[in-house]
Amino acid sequence: MPSFYGLGLLRSVVRRPGPRVRLWNFQKLPRLILFVPCERVILNQEDNNVSLITVLNEIGIALPSDKIPSGSHAAYRWTILAVWLREPGDEQKRFEQSCELVMPDGQRAFRSRDVFSFEQRIHRQTLVVPAFPMSKTPGDCLLKLSVREDVEGKEWQGVAEYPILLKHSTPDVR
């Protein structure tokens, strides 16, 4: 039997005399089919397909940790792509997506929220980020994606996380 605890689907367990009763709180949300950071996203106008240029796995900073100023950013333009699939019942709904980047030291570098609805079966949401935040702490930056129905009181549901390794190095001196 699959574990629904790890999927975040089990909302609560009510304990009463007799057998256990499980209450499931499934929030009907669109299905995420792709979430990826890259240098560029290109949309082909002829066939409406997407090309991803340089999918990000790591970012290197050519400075030692002690030389990185607090709150600084590397001049590196990048894009985050989320692709959603419309599920039955999503046609008349509006959704809100939240994308945030958490640095290796646990600090949130940014958070972006965007509202969308489905005009077609597939919906693409892109976020162009003009610079990459730097951190004195090397390690995994965690790009997190959450979604909720755009209705007051609806809860955010985490749907994806993508690690980007932030590496520090000492530049070669010749």
CB 7 within 8 A of CB 16: no
CB 121 within 8 A of CB 85: yes
Strand order in the sheet with 78-85: 50-55, 31-43, 78-85, 122-129
CB 30 within 8 A of CB 85: yes
Q: Which residues contact 40 (CB under 8 A, 6 or more apart)?
A: 52, 53, 54, 79
On the question of pLDDT at 3 being above 90, the answer is no
pLDDT at position 51: 95
In order, the DSSP letters of 104-125 are: TTS-EEEEEEEEEE-SSSEEEE
Q: 37 by DSSP, 3-state: which?
A: strand
pLDDT digits 0-9 by tens, 97-155: 999 999 999 999 999 999 999 999 999 999 999 999 998 899 999 999 999 999 988 99
- Range 91-98 average pLDDT: 94
Among 17-26, 31-40, 53-62, the range with the most confident prediction by mean pLDDT is 31-40
CB 79 within 8 A of CB 41: yes
- Range 89-95 average pLDDT: 91
pTM for the full predicted model = 0.79
pLDDT at position 172: 58
C-beta neighbour count of 112 within 10 angstroms: 13
Q: How confident is the model at residue 25 (pLDDT cuts 50, 70, 90)?
A: very low
Q: Domains in the chain and their CATH numbers?
A: 29-168 (2.60.40.3880)
